Amino acid sequence: MAKAKELLIVGAGLTGSLTASLLSRSSVQANITVWDKARGCGGRFTTSYSDNDRSLHVDMGAQYLTRCLETSENKVKNDVYKELLDASILTPFQGMIEGSKHSHNDKHYVAPKGMSSICRHFLDHSKASVQFKRCLKSVSINGGRVLCAAESGIEEIFDGLILTLPAPQLLQLQGNLLSSRAATDIVSNLSSVKYSSRYALGLFYNAETVHSSPGMFDSPWSAKYCDHPVIRYMSWDQLKRGAETPGATLLVHTSVPFGIKQLNTDKDQVKGQLLEMVGEMMPGLPQSSHSYLLRWRYSQVQDKFPGLHDFVVMSQDPLVVATGDSFSGSNFENCLRAAMHTSEFIAQ
């Protein structure tokens, strides 16, 4: 029996976690390791929890999944949706999305335990060794293997590497990978990938505040796209999930122009501005017991990698593949397709 290869996937977001899961179900004989710089999985499917009550959480990035019922799906996509629905990782979106431009034939889903639970599900089923707080610093090819070094100083050698980083972060990698002859044209195209930027503000309300503020949820919407120069989207997290919780969480996304303009502004200053604007838009809203501001420097892809690519091969021997929304686009369906095609290529 051939010795199992050692594969490293960098990024525990949707593409990385699903790729790990699909590879574990394929014919590939491999031990899979996943590195992620964050404290937990999710990437832009991240979920933030209250400091005082873990039952209160809010999705800071992706808010819901949209599936066009008129679009024919292939078996892998159908199987992924069925798996998530059967495991109750996904449930139908509850309530109304005000200002939505989606077709009435689209079906929306949310994750009762937070969007990060989708990535956690795939990682658990992959049986990969997952290392958090491990930020990739350099990649060097040496003797048919890949030397990967983390910012912490840890170095490990692998037989293959799958990079799901946003293109701007990939281009910051040290080592000889990007300077190889095979990567010359790829690096040029990676430089053309552009992301939008925005801020996400999560507001947490404890049970006492909710009990003493009966008018908090008088609005008819669970989520709302706003006609406002700064505030683009708001959502009562527990209402979109149809959850009965003693407390409540409100998510606020800014517009992209504001996010770009204020990208390097002090976060406390930005938080103050946003709290004031939310208060003006929702005059009866009580003061939150806790708030958290997240700066999405790489929010969604505006200009993806040129051409119809879901991944690119940066090295054949050893195999180094770059994939993710830089190549496919930023939504669940596109990341699913990127993971599917990447895992199929590696399994050939």
197-296: which CATH topology? Polyamine Oxidase; Chain A, domain 2 (3.90.660)
| Per-residue pLDDT tens listing for the chain (348 residues) | 457 799 999 999 999 999 999 999 998 999 999 999 999 999 999 999 988 788 889 999 999 999 876 555 577 788 899 999 999 999 999 999 999 887 777 889 999 999 999 999 999 999 999 999 999 999 999 989 999 999 999 999 999 999 999 999 999 999 999 998 778 889 999 999 999 999 999 999 999 999 999 888 888 999 999 999 999 999 999 999 998 888 999 999 999 999 999 999 999 999 999 999 999 999 989 999 999 999 999 999 999 999 878 999 999 999 999 999 999 999 998 999 999 999 999 998
CA atoms of 93 and 241, how far apart (whole Å): 6
pLDDT at 222: 95
Q: Sign of torsion, CA 295 301 302 304?
A: positive
Contact at 8 Å (CB) between 114 and 237?
A: no
Task: Quick: pLDDT tens for 108-121.
Answer: 999 999 999 999 99
Single out the residue of 170, 142, 173, 174 nearest to residue 158, CA to CA. 142
Q: Tell me what pLDDT residue 47 has.
A: 96
Give the pLDDT confidence of 19-40 residue by residue, as tens digits.
999 999 998 999 999 999 999 9
**5-58+116-193+304-346: which CATH architecture?**
3-Layer(bba) Sandwich (3.50)
The pLDDT of residue 1 is 40
Measured N-to-C along each axis, helices 14-24 and 332-346 cross at an angle, to the nearest 10 degrees, of 40
Q: Where are the domains of the chain?
A: 5-58+116-193+304-346, 197-296
What pLDDT does residue 2 have?
55
Per the CB < 8 A criterion, the answer to whether 289 and 205 are in contact is yes
Angle at alpha carbon of residue 337, lines to 21 and 66, rounded to 5°: 100
Q: Is the dihedral of CA 306, 312, 316, 320 positive or negative?
A: positive
Tokens of 199: 């801020």
* Intrachain domains 5-58+116-193+304-346 and 197-296 with the same fold: no
Side-chain half-sphere exposure of 73, counting CA atoms within 13 A: 17
Question: Do residues 62 and 115 lie in contact, with contact meaning Cβ atoms separated by under 8 Å?
Answer: yes
CA 141 to each of CA 60, 171, 270, 300, 342: distance values in angstroms, whole numbers, following the listed order: 36, 16, 42, 30, 20
User: d(Cα 237, Cα 249) in Å, to the nearest integer?
Assistant: 6
